[in-house]
Structure 1
Amino acid sequence: MNLYSFARSFVNGILNPIYRFEVKGKEHFPKDGGVLLCTNHIHNFDPPVVGINAPRPVHFMAKAELFKVPLLGKILPNINAFPVKRGMSDREALRTGLSLLKEGKVLGLFPEGTRSKTGELGKGLAGAGFFALRTDAAIVPCAIIGPYKAFKRLKVVYGKPIDMTALRERRASAEETTEFIMEEIRKLINENK
């Protein structure tokens, strides 16, 4: 068993009894090929919650500062995380993300770039659109619907892959594409509250 599988089982054993996950839409998740998994961001636990409930291993961008924390910096690369420098265009992180998608892996993104302080869906950054337009990966929207309160049900909802054909054909901007993805996440939240 690799560290990712061990961590996934370990974290699931801790979080599932507390938050009693209700997972919907796993059948929409492609069984193979590159997947860009785009999720709203309401809590620090969102990455592990998405990671333990997704049907396939997920690779996440994590802020570069976390890789400087003793011990954590050694663990993160072994649980499929790679660094991104926030607040600037990090070419290395973009290359890593593109490479993962082209290799048929799952890249998990929080398009808002940071946690929502209000729990409401914020504006997405252009990164999600960048990856969606430059690969033929399936784009899967995901909604985490809280609250994160002990012994209250926490929903994780996967939507059907978004049809990106029209946006790709007319070479839409990364910003417009991200907004299109955010609208699908918003629909999932509203339909599953």
Structure 2
Amino acid sequence: MRFLSRIILKMLGWQLDEQLPAINKYVLIGYPHTSNWDFIMGMLAKWAMNMPLNWVAKHSMFWGPFGPIFVAMGGVPVNRGKASGFIQKNIDLFNSRECFVLGLMPEGTRSKTDKWKTGFYHIADGANVPIALAYLDYKNKKIGVGKMVETTGDIDSDFEIIKSFYQDKTGCNPKNQSDLIIKK
């Protein structure tokens, strides 16, 4: 899959930014998330970089025959409509494993939202792991993992670093791109 994914990305004119963290545990967030194409491009990048990524998506995406396929691809379904202890469960997973990478889209949807969800931050801070900033920049046809952010417990200060990194990234549907503001 690595070789094939690299060829597909190259044929599509995309440049792969391969600054993968040299550590075994981190939360990876992706921004912007404005299209169904983001999933396809993200999977191509995951395979091209040989990244051991578990990714979170809404439970309704895991219907029928797609459920087992997406789980085999590292997918983790979450029902956003009911409380499930998601943050603590993931902190516990980080604490119980030698190697764990969890990918989340803080916007939580492809539609424009006024604020990001902060579960990614609370998981990283609670598990004492850094946050890797992954991106899809359709304007420049660049995809990859850039900066790493160590949490300090001061979400406002840490988010300013995250916001600064993402401010020049453009989604597939820029009108759906969410503001870089966290939900409080």
Partner deviation per Cα, 1:81-101 (whole Å, 9 max, x = no partner): 11111244331x434432443
Structure 1 residues 101 and 9: alpha-carbon distance in aligned structure 2, compared to 1, 3 A threshold: farther
Q: 2:12 aligns with which of 12, 15, 19?
A: 19
Partner deviation per Cα, 1:73-128 (whole Å, 9 max, x = no partner): 1212111111111244331x4344324433231111111111145xxx96211212
Q: Distance in 1 between matches of 2:158 and 2:79?
A: 20
Structure 1 residues 70 and 158: alpha-carbon distance in aligned structure 2, compared to 1, 3 A threshold: same
Kindly indicate whether residue 115 of structure 2 is the aligned counterpart of residue 123 of structure 1: yes
Aligned to 2:90: 97
* SS in structure 2 of the partner of residue 137 of structure 1: coil
Q: Distance in 2 between matches of 1:51 and 1:100?
A: 22
Partner deviation per Cα, 1:114-151 (whole Å, 9 max, x = no partner): 1145xxx962112122112101212111221115xxxx
Q: Distance in 1 between matches of 2:157 and 2:108?
A: 15
Aligned to 1:75: 69
Q: TM-score, normalised by structure 1?
A: 0.69
* SS in structure 2 of the partner of residue 76 of structure 1: helix
Does the CA-based 8 Å contact 2:6-2:44 persist in structure 1? no
Partner deviation per Cα, 1:142-187 (whole Å, 9 max, x = no partner): 221115xxxxx621142221132xx23xxx35xx477446414424
Does the CA-based 8 Å contact 1:141-1:184 persist in structure 2? no
Structure 1 residues 46 and 14: alpha-carbon distance in aligned structure 2, compared to 1, 3 A threshold: farther
Q: 1:37 aligns with which of 3, 15, 28?
A: 28
| Greater per-residue helix proportion | 1
Q: Distance in 2 between matches of 1:70 and 1:178?
A: 40
Q: Distance in 1 between matches of 2:91 and 2:56?
A: 12
Q: TM-score, normalised by structure 2?
A: 0.72
Kindly indicate whether residue 145 of structure 2 is the aligned counterpart of residue 154 of structure 1: no
Amino acid at match of 2:119: G
Kindly indicate whether residue 117 of structure 2 is the aligned counterpart of residue 137 of structure 1: no
Partner deviation per Cα, 1:44-79 (whole Å, 9 max, x = no partner): 132342233243221111111122x21101212111
Q: Distance in 1 between matches of 2:40 and 2:79?
A: 20
Amino acid at match of 2:13: R
The CA RMSD over aligned residues, in Å, is 3.0
**Aligned residues between the structures:** 164
Q: Distance in 2 between matches of 1:144 and 1:82?
A: 21
* SS in structure 2 of the partner of residue 62 of structure 1: strand
Q: Distance in 2 between matches of 1:161 and 1:130?
A: 16
* Identical-pair percentage: 23
Tell me, which stretches of 5 or more residues in structure 2 are unaligned? 171-184
Tell me, which stretches of 5 or more residues in structure 1 are unaligned? 1-5, 148-152
Runs of 4+ off more than 4 Å? none
Structure 1 residues 36 and 63: alpha-carbon distance in aligned structure 2, compared to 1, 3 A threshold: same
Q: Distance in 1 between matches of 2:168 and 2:77?
A: 28
